[in-house]
C-alpha cells in the first residue's frame, strides 16, 4: 500500500471503531499499491493530516486487503476519498488533487 507519512492505516476489522465511531470527522483514502495517482496524493494527505490534526482525522485503507469496506461504500476507482461525519459519508472525491483543492472540499463537506 502507498503509505502517506503520519497517516494511519485502517482495515475492515477496525473501520467501524476508527472511522464510524470517531469523535472527529474522518477523511478516508481508499488506496492500492498499483495506483499511480495514490502515490501523487500521499504527500498531500500527509500535509493535510498534520495541518488539520485537531479538526479532522485522516486515514488510509488498502482496497486489495480490505474488500468488505470497499464494497460497502461502492468504491470502484483509486484513489477515492470519503469524508465521514458522525459515522455517515458526507462527501466523496475521486482522483488525486492539489492540497488547496482538497482542503476546500473538506471545508465544504464539514460546513454542510
Q: Which residues are catalytic?
A: 35, 38
Tell me which DSSP letter residue 110 carries: H
**Which string of DSSP letters, residue by residue, matches 12-28?**
TTTHIIIIIT-SS-EEE
Gap between the Cα atoms of 63 and 85, Å rounded:
21
Residue bearing cell 507519512: 5
Amino acid at each position: 500500500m502507498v503509505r502517506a507519512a503520519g497517516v494511519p492505516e485502517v482495515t475492515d476489522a477496525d473501520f467501524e471503531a476508527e472511522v464510524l465511531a470517531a469523535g472527529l470527522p474522518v477523511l478516508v483514502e481508499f488506496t492500492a499499491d498499483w495506483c499511480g495517482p495514490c502515490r501523487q496524493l500521499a504527500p498531500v494527505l500527509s500535509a493535510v493530516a498534520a495541518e488539520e490534526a485537531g479538526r479532522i482525522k485522516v486515514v488510509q485503507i488498502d482496497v486489495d486487503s480490505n474488500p468488505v469496506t470497499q464494497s460497502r461504500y461502492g468504491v470502484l476507482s483509486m484513489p477515492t476519498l470519503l469524508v465521514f461525519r458522525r459515522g455517515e459519508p458526507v462527501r466523496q472525491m475521486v482522483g488525486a488533487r492539489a492540497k488547496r483543492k482538497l482542503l476546500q472540499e473538506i471545508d465544504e463537506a464539514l460546513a454542510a
